[in-house]
A and B are shown apart, each in its own frame.
Chain A
Amino acid sequence: MAVLSEEQSLLRDAARTWTQEKSPVSAFRKVRNAAEPLAYDPTAFAEMAQMGWAGVIIPEEFGGSDFGWLSLGLILEETGRTLTASPILASAAAASAILLGGSAAQKEAWLPRIASGEVVGALAVDEGPHHSPDKVAAAAKKSGAGWTLDGAKTFVLEGMAAGVFVVSARTSGEGADGISLFLVPADAKGVKRQALKLADSRGAANLTFEGVALGAEALLGEEGKAWPVLEKTLDRARAALAAEMLGSAVQAFETTLDYLKTRVQFGQVIGSFQALQHRAAKMFTDLELSRSCVEAALTAIDNDTADVPELVSLAKAKMGDTLHLVSNEMVQMHGGIGMTDEHDAGLYLKRARAQETAFGGQAWHRDRYARLQGF
């Protein structure tokens, strides 16, 4: 565990108490069974916003607490533990894009509403089945003083809940060059969203934009030069997601460890079998290493150091491998009960693959890490 400030310790304790008492896994089960497109409990999110969790990375002048990304990570680690469904991560990512690239007017218009939880924000970046932020076919053309947006986006996290999207669209060039970011209200004419029914039962949407008319004020940052802002924004989202993954993995491991200590076969607890002990020790080792990477990435973001991209890819790759292993072992070590819907193991397994996939899987981040190392 990183060395925390007093306010961070308080925040972590508050998050732990609230998630354990108000939002245990059974709460997520209810959300799943209700099968609403929103895919989270709005009352629970209102409570979280009340505690300031929607504004952790937003400056005080815009209604946030400006506690930073390590602090947000502490909250997400706790919500990850209980699989708490909420748009906190998606909103923080969208707010981050506005903070990094937005004008004073844009910040004024959106950040206070995101910080209070009144509006949910979401990133609409990918267009295919894999994370690939420089493959942008969605296009925005100049139209009078404003723009016309056409195209499609896939796997937009909290896409059904969002009141505003940060959309990447091509205004010129190819690859990373010529990408612009736009703030698109969800209720703008020509925006269509299709709710996705995902294995992990969390909220996401595919979006289409058909001749969406945007004013000049919709352009976020400089025309055609959004790539650096987009990269920074995505790195923040990835690191925050890695923190949530850490929480999910730690809880999956601890639940499994409890089972090893209580399940009796052959007249003894199965945790007395060395074959299982050594697999548990391996998971524990990987979790410790992964925690170091996740905390280092979040700390680097807070300190705005040059190694943010490589530490983020390190964290997402390492954490993804560990979560992959732990989520599989959770099912395997629980045996038959782990295959039942009644048990939580399946919920962690399904959530794990969605977390691994979002904002780049292990292969994508390993490759990026290698390239950033000049290899």
Chain B
Amino acid sequence: MEDLDAFRAEARAWLGANFPASLAADPDATPEIIPGGEKPAGDALLWKQRMAAKGWGAPTWPAAYGGGGLSAAAARVLAEEMAAIGAGNPVQGMGTSMFGPTLLEYGTEDQKRRHIPAIVRGEVRWCQGYSEPGAGSDLAALTTRCEDAGDHWKINGQKIWTSGAQYSDWCFCLVRTDTKKKHEGISFVLIDMHQPGVETRPIRLIAGSSPFCETFFTDARVEKNDMVGPLNGGWAIGKRLLQHERSGQGGGRLMGAGKPLPAIAEAYAAADDLGADDLRTRIVGQSIDARAHGLTMRRAAAEAKANLNPSAATSVMKNSGTKIGQDKAELTLEIMGAQGLGWAGEAYTEEERAAVRAWLSGKATTIFGGSAEIQNNIISKRILGLPDPLGAH
């Protein structure tokens, strides 16, 4: 057994000496995400540099690649100590959450040495080249071509929903290397975004500006040593990465933030002016569903802690949480009435304008990360053991 108490003391002392007090977060505030590659200044820069040098931005990654080399238990202790003083992890983004863990599992020694330390130091920002206009839920239908050009790979095609592509340094990307096969014709490559053959265009969504982009590759170049895994062996790696993505999609985050609906209703709706009984019934229904969802997250956590078999409950969390969030957003608008239609301007409070944007942007939650329909396919197949109507995979 490792000595967690000793580590706790060590972590506390180091944090005490190195965490700039000016950055201590208000415990009630939503933590600000500082993506990898972003260039902070002042104390934020100092904090990032110190954490990068210590390797604690990626605490469980091997020290050989710049990580913290901590056990999962020690990393939990570190997270507790950081939370206690309001210290956030300055190294964030798809590099640490999705790509790094996948490369550590599948990459060559050379690839890990070239890419992992820069992620730990928060110097390189990664984006995800998965979806295409013709390959959404049916991701394996992707057609972006990757051809052998002698000393390098040549990439042609279009990706979509590449979050943050316009700010990214690198893209981990699924590409087609065999047009005669579907899943077995896909490879996983790493594309340097700073080259002439790469163009990004931000996408404006129904809620206004968004982090999403279209990304176009025209004879873009990938070095031979930047294909991860074997030629035509990228699908398994791509799916593994999606597991990291989905495990990061906690059910709670999608449920919609802000005040509970009854409190909003009290502020807006005189009891007798909007079919109050009907609205009240639906508000209560939403409140009950939200509570049931919260209790289920708690139950799943308790079961995981007691080392019971992986709870079947976890598989239902995404559809349950997203529906609750969307229902809440719809009801919020309805409660606010005409005030809930404000797009901009002085006539509306910040809360009202935010409600409209949240209502619209929330529609994405049942589409991204596996649509509600795909989640139901997964439950049907993996939990209920029903036949896959779409064939294997």
The residues in A between 215 and 265 inclusive whose CB is less than 8 angstroms from any CB of B are 257, 260-261
- In the bound assembly, the distance between CA atoms of A285 and B384 in angstroms comes to 11
The answer to whether the Cβ of B23 comes within 8 Å of any Cβ in the partner chain is: no
Residues of A within 8 A of B298 (CB): 292, 296
The answer to whether the Cβ of B303 comes within 8 Å of any Cβ in the partner chain is: yes
The answer to whether the Cβ of A86 comes within 8 Å of any Cβ in the partner chain is: no
* B284 x A284 contact (CB < 8 A): no
* A366 x B284 contact (CB < 8 A): yes
The answer to whether the Cβ of A1 comes within 8 Å of any Cβ in the partner chain is: yes
* A2 x B299 contact (CB < 8 A): yes
Cross-chain contact of B389 among A272, A293, A373 (Cβ < 8 A): A272
The residues in A between 269 and 324 inclusive whose CB is less than 8 angstroms from any CB of B are 269, 271-274, 277-278, 280-282, 284-285, 288-293, 295-296, 314, 317-318
- Known A-B contacts A272-B387, A318-B292; the reply to A3 vs B379 at CB < 8 A is no
The answer to whether the Cβ of B296 comes within 8 Å of any Cβ in the partner chain is: yes
The answer to whether the Cβ of A177 comes within 8 Å of any Cβ in the partner chain is: no
Number of residues of chain A lying within 8 A (CB) of chain B: 37
- Known A-B contacts A288-B313, A289-B289, A373-B262; the reply to A278 vs B373 at CB < 8 A is yes
Closest to B281 in A: A366
Closest to A278 in B: B376
* A288 x B312 contact (CB < 8 A): yes
* B280 x A284 contact (CB < 8 A): no
The answer to whether the Cβ of A36 comes within 8 Å of any Cβ in the partner chain is: no
* B386 x A260 contact (CB < 8 A): yes
The answer to whether the Cβ of A266 comes within 8 Å of any Cβ in the partner chain is: no
The answer to whether the Cβ of B291 comes within 8 Å of any Cβ in the partner chain is: yes
The answer to whether the Cβ of B306 comes within 8 Å of any Cβ in the partner chain is: yes
- In the bound assembly, the distance between CA atoms of A269 and B388 in angstroms comes to 11
Question: Shortest CB–CB separation between residue B327 and chain A, in angstroms?
Answer: 14
Residues of B within 8 A of A284 (CB): 312, 316, 379, 383-384
Q: Which of B295, B296, B319, B389 has the most CB of A within 10 A?
A: B295
* A292 x B377 contact (CB < 8 A): no
Residues of B within 8 A of A1 (CB): 303, 308
The answer to whether the Cβ of B285 comes within 8 Å of any Cβ in the partner chain is: yes
Interchain pairs with CB closer than 8 A, number: 112
- In the bound assembly, the distance between CA atoms of A278 and B389 in angstroms comes to 12
Closest to A282 in B: B376
The answer to whether the Cβ of B288 comes within 8 Å of any Cβ in the partner chain is: yes
The answer to whether the Cβ of B385 comes within 8 Å of any Cβ in the partner chain is: yes
Number of residues of chain B lying within 8 A (CB) of chain A: 38
The answer to whether the Cβ of B232 comes within 8 Å of any Cβ in the partner chain is: no
Per-residue interface assignment for chain B, residues 282 to 317, with 1 indicating a CB less than 8 Å from any chain A CB and 0 otherwise: 011101110111011011001100101000110010
Residues of B within 8 A of A375 (CB): 262, 265, 280, 283-284, 287
- In the bound assembly, the distance between CA atoms of A161 and B268 in angstroms comes to 53
* A274 x B262 contact (CB < 8 A): no
Closest to A271 in B: B386
- In the bound assembly, the distance between CA atoms of A281 and B383 in angstroms comes to 9
Cross-chain contact of B292 among A268, A293, A373, A374 (Cβ < 8 A): A293
- In the bound assembly, the distance between CA atoms of A271 and B379 in angstroms comes to 13
Question: Shortest CB–CB separation between residue B30 and chain A, in angstroms?
Answer: 25
* A292 x B292 contact (CB < 8 A): yes
Closest to B280 in A: A370
Question: Shortest CB–CB separation between residue A245 and chain B, in angstroms?
Answer: 14
* B262 x A292 contact (CB < 8 A): no
- In the bound assembly, the distance between CA atoms of A370 and B285 in angstroms comes to 9
- In the bound assembly, the distance between CA atoms of A231 and B288 in angstroms comes to 21
Question: Shortest CB–CB separation between residue A373 and chain B, in angstroms?
Answer: 6
The answer to whether the Cβ of A367 comes within 8 Å of any Cβ in the partner chain is: yes
* A3 x B303 contact (CB < 8 A): yes
Question: Shortest CB–CB separation between residue A249 and chain B, in angstroms?
Answer: 14
Residues of B within 8 A of A165 (CB): none
* A374 x B389 contact (CB < 8 A): no
Cross-chain contact of B287 among A2, A367, A369 (Cβ < 8 A): A369
Closest to B263 in A: A375
Question: Shortest CB–CB separation between residue B51 and chain A, in angstroms?
Answer: 36
Residues of B within 8 A of A257 (CB): 384, 386
The answer to whether the Cβ of B380 comes within 8 Å of any Cβ in the partner chain is: yes
Per-residue interface assignment for chain B, residues 241 to 267, with 1 indicating a CB less than 8 Å from any chain A CB and 0 otherwise: 000000000000000000000100100
Question: Shortest CB–CB separation between residue A352 and chain B, in angstroms?
Answer: 19
Cross-chain contact of A314 among B288, B302, B306, B313 (Cβ < 8 A): B288
Cross-chain contact of A261 among B262, B284, B295, B386 (Cβ < 8 A): B386
* A288 x B296 contact (CB < 8 A): yes
Question: Shortest CB–CB separation between residue B377 and chain A, in angstroms?
Answer: 7
- Known A-B contacts A272-B389, A284-B383, A375-B265; the reply to A367 vs B284 at CB < 8 A is yes
- Known A-B contacts A280-B386, A314-B288, A375-B284; the reply to A292 vs B306 at CB < 8 A is no
Cross-chain contact of B302 among A3, A282, A291 (Cβ < 8 A): A3
- In the bound assembly, the distance between CA atoms of A261 and B381 in angstroms comes to 12
* B389 x A274 contact (CB < 8 A): yes
The answer to whether the Cβ of B320 comes within 8 Å of any Cβ in the partner chain is: yes
* A273 x B292 contact (CB < 8 A): no
Residues of B within 8 A of A373 (CB): 262, 287
Question: Shortest CB–CB separation between residue A74 and chain B, in angstroms?
Answer: 15
Give me the interface of A with B, judged by CB distance under 8 Å. Answer: 1-3, 257, 260-261, 268-269, 271-274, 277-278, 280-282, 284-285, 288-293, 295-296, 314, 317-318, 366-367, 369-370, 373-375
11 inter-chain pairs at a CB distance below 8 angstroms, sorted by A residue, are A3-B306, A3-B308, A257-B386, A269-B387, A271-B386, A277-B380, A278-B377, A289-B295, A314-B291, A370-B280, A375-B280
Q: Which 5 A-B pairs have the closest CB atoms?
A: A277-B380, A375-B262, A281-B376, A292-B295, A292-B296
